[in-house]
A and B are shown apart, each in its own frame.
Chain A
Amino acid sequence: MIDETKIMQYADGTLPEDEKETVKKAIESDPQLRKLLKDYQATGEMLFNLGKEIKSQPLPSSLQKKLKIINKERERSSDGIKSFIFFRIPKIAYAGIAATFAFILYSVFQTTAPLVVDNINDGSILRTGAILKKFEITESVSDPGEGMLNTEDFKIFYDEYLTLYNFEKTIDEKNSKNKFIKKIKKMTKAAFKGQDAKTIHAKWKNSVFWITNPTNDINDDEIMLGGGGIGSGSLIDKNGLILTNWHVIKNANQVWVYPYPKDPSKGLQMDKVTDAEKFLAIVVAKNKKTDLALVQITGFSKRITPVPLGIGDKIETGEKVFAIGHPAFYGWDITDGIVRGIVPNYEWNYGKPPKEGEKFDHTATVMRSSAEIEGGSSGGPLFNEKGRMIGINNMGEIGSNNINFAIVVKHAQELIKNKEQPGIKATATVEPLTEKILRQKYPNLWTDDYSQNGVIDTWYVDTNNNGIGDTIYTDDDEDGLIEAIYIDKDEDNSPEIRLFDTDLDGRPDEKLIDRDDQNDDVKWDAVAVDIDQDGTWDKVQDIPKS
């Protein structure tokens, strides 16, 4: 018996040479196959003509424009010549550039709040009064706006610092031997006495969160089913911004965030806090290069104080540091150590090193510290003795004698500033699917309580209106957010596709496929993931049969 597809290939002229003779003989001897051949020839011709005619249509203007751009790009890349951009600026723009330079120069020698954050990092600014004045903070903060760093905290801190510093300096200048002055001097020094681990933990544990990322992970190019990461993060702003590592929130648009438990006496291990109060945090900014990200929560306790960023603190080798995080599933762990060294523009990868000719994934100024961290500490704060965050713990060197890395906090400042810029801001429209939204779309759906505990957890939808349900929405953890969609296109009561929205942003990011649906083995054969959540399945992988 000749397969029909062979006849089709014969009609199209795509059949391998060695099979042609057999197929030809079969067609000649069977009138039904001859008819089939004619049908295929006819549809082949139809499709060929259709393709030819549509392709012969002139391009609409929008695509013509695009083609022009492509042609220009192609010419440019084949030339290899790039003209110097400055000379392309129209003459009128020179005036604008000059004005900008003038404004910048003016700004540097005047008092502007953003410059405080920009320049205090050079370590020399607290040396002379003249420069101090340059960085004085005024009320005229240009953008106190939404989600930005809490400049009020900075202001209070610097005001205190400057007052005390100037006071001490005056005493020094007078070189007095007065006992009273000496006492004051001693008190001033006491105000700057370094804090110990106990104080830092007591003060800042509530501001450190536990982050779990539910999305699948890809390690060494392999999709890890049921993967997902855990990490730490610090509240840095009263609007709920939490600073963490990019690799902690990798692939997700939303992550779960757990605050310090209200009743810590039950224990702080991972399994003790997972059922506690948790927040769905939206990823609002990320920068893969510096391995940093910001997530935002709402509705958290206003008693939680944002961690002050030590952007202005000079990081010195040998100074004492403290790391808070959740190493190896133990929550709110604190370790201490010293800064072992600072490495500017350090390059690194998680997992495999880059292939020849490729760049490292991450580049940032980092510090090596001896404050121990482990998996789960990623994204957590590294405090200095003043109780300010100077680094974001990101990794330890495997096999080393306690060499741990933290990204210098000034990179966080870049991220916060760029929060609203395109390219860095997460683009997803984050809206978890709920029963309410589902009902607006499908008013005729019917429901089920699969777990039989009195809570509706399953919704059946008949998308093609033939009276048979073909799509099932489920909320297995019964938190009101639908996380999975089962599609049963052939309506045989055995779904062949499961779409899973692991980070609950309303966009499926994992697809399981049952390719041999007909045999009812109810086993998924392949998994696909949409890593960048752009609606395209980026990687498909067979699931090994167990």
Chain B
Amino acid sequence: MLEKIDENFIKRLRLIARGIARENCDPDELVNESVEYLLKNKNKYKNHPNPIALAVLKMKGLHIDFIRKNKNLTALTDQEEIGIDMDEKMEISLECKKVFEVIKKMGEKCQEILMLAADGMSMQEMQEITNVNSLGTVLSRLSNCRKELKGLMST
């Protein structure tokens, strides 16, 4: 499995983490801890067919853990801003920044699936990660979210 964890692997995780992390959870910290987990369990997962899916699922678990420990749901709206601020350090084009900000305002399922799509994942991989029971559900979710994105971008 180790041979699959390279710079590109981590960069893909960074992208997907931005579809998972909310509030003041640092997406890079999710990546860091998830990679650490893979490293620690490299023998356990040495024959895992899809380390990227495994790493993303771990990030989701870590995020749930983070929420469970730190979250005060009533104060969410303000904290969401922090997540965006953090990513403003990234040097990306204005157009992409706008797309990203719009995505961050969408529902959590949309955020997740759109970032997975941005990574170029196959529908099967998306199904594995989003834990839905049919490919049809993945397709319709992605389709609806993309329509929503288009609508929000036009306004």
Chain A interfacial positions (CB closer than 8 Å to B): 4-5, 8-9, 14, 39-40, 42-44, 46-51, 53-57, 59-60, 62-63, 66-67, 69-70, 73-74, 77, 429, 441-442, 463, 465, 507, 515, 525-526, 534-537, 540
Contact with A along B53-83 (1 / 0, CB 8 A): 0000110111011001100111000000000
**Complex: chain A residue closest to B57, CB-CB:** A536
User: What is the minimal beta-carbon distance from A46 to any residue of chain B, in angstroms?
Assistant: 5
CB neighbours of B150 from chain A (8 A): 39, 42-43
A301 to chain B, nearest CB (A): 35
Q: Decide if B96 touches A49 in the complex (CB within 8 Å).
A: yes
**What residues of chain A lie closer than 8 Å to B149, measured between beta carbons?**
43, 46
B120: which A residues are within 8 A, CB to CB? Answer: 48, 51
B39 contact set on A, CB distance < 8 A: 66, 69-70, 73
Q: Is the CB of A47 within 8 A of B92?
A: no
Given contacts A47-B114, A50-B100, A465-B74, 15 further A-B contacts (CB under 8 A): A4-B143, A5-B139, A9-B139, A39-B146, A40-B143, A43-B146, A47-B117, A50-B92, A51-B120, A53-B96, A54-B92, A54-B96, A55-B15, A525-B133, A536-B62
Across-interface contacts of B3 in A (CB, < 8 A): 74
Inter-chain contacts of B28 with A (CB < 8 A): 60, 62-63
B85 on interface, CB distance cutoff 8 Å: no
Contact call A63/B10, Cβ cutoff below 8 A: yes
| B32 near A62: Cβ-Cβ < 8 Å | yes
Interchain nearest-CB distance for A479 vs B (Å): 22
Does B155 count as interface, using CB distance less than 8 angstroms? no
**Least Cβ–Cβ distance between B93 and chain A, in angstroms:** 6
Contact indicator B7/A59 (Cβ below 8 Å): yes
**Which residue of B has the minimal Cβ distance to A14?**
B123
Interface size on B, residues (CB 8 A): 60
| Complex Cα gap A442–B74 (Å) | 8
Indicate whether A46 sits within 8 Å of B99 (C-beta atoms), given known contacts A5-B139, A5-B140, A57-B11: yes
Contact status B73-A66, CB under 8 Å: no
State whether A67 and B36 are in contact (beta carbons under 8 Å apart), knowing that A54-B14, A463-B73 are contacts in the complex.
Answer: no
- Residue from B42, B73, B103, B133 in contact with A526 in the complex, judged by beta carbons closer than 8 Å: B133
What's the minimum C-beta distance from B92 to chain A, rounded to whole angstroms?
Answer: 4
Whole-angstrom CA separation of A537 from B132 in the bound complex: 13
Rounded to whole Å, the gap between the CB of A305 and the closest CB of chain B is: 39
CA distance A70 to B55 in the complex (A): 15
- B79-119 CB contact bits vs A (8 Å, 1 = yes)? 00000000000111101100110010000000000110111
Asked whether A77 lies within 8 Å of B2 as measured between CB atoms, the reply is yes
The complex places the Cα of A45 from the Cα of B32 at a distance, in Å, of 29
Contact A55 B2 (CB under 8 A): no
Residues from chain A with a CB closer than 8 A to the CB of B32 are 62-63, 66
Chain B residues within an 8 Å CB radius of A47:
99, 114, 117-118, 146
Please classify the interface of chain B as helix (H, G, I), strand (E, B), loop, or mixed, using the class held by over half of its residues.
helix
B48 is an interface residue with CB less than 8 A from chain A = no
Chain B residues with Cβ below 8 Å from A535 are 61-62, 64-65, 68
Contact B2 A57 (CB under 8 A): no
Interface pair A51/B119, CB less than 8 Å apart? yes
**Residue in B closest to A77 when the chains form the complex, CB atoms:** B2
- A5, A51, A59, A536, most chain B CB atoms within 10 A: A51
Residues 1-40 of chain B: 1 if any A CB is under 8 Å from the residue's CB, otherwise 0?
0110111101110110010000000001001100110010
Residues of chain A within 8 A (CB-CB) of B146 are 8, 39-40, 43-44, 47
Provide the bound-state CA to CA distance between A47 and B114, in Å: 7
Smallest Cβ distance from A532 to chain B, in angstroms? 10
A540 contact set on B, CB distance < 8 A = 131
**Complex CA distance for A534 and B6, rounded to whole angstroms:** 25
With the chains together, A401 CA to B62 CA distance in Å?
49
**Contact flag A57-B92 (CB < 8 Å), given A62-B32, A66-B32, A534-B61:** yes
CA distance A194 to B57 in the complex (A): 58
A-B CB contact pairs (8 Å), 13 listed: A5-B139, A40-B143, A50-B92, A53-B92, A53-B96, A55-B8, A57-B91, A59-B14, A60-B28, A63-B14, A73-B42, A77-B2, A442-B74
Report yes or no: A70 in contact with B5, Cβ–Cβ below 8 A: yes
- Say whether A54 contacts B15, CB under 8 Å: yes
User: Cβ of B5: which chain A residues have Cβ within 8 Å of it?
Assistant: 70, 74
Question: Which residue on B lies nearest to A12, using beta carbons?
Answer: B117
- In the assembled complex, which residues on chain A have CB atoms less than 8 Å from the CB atom of B11? 54-57, 59
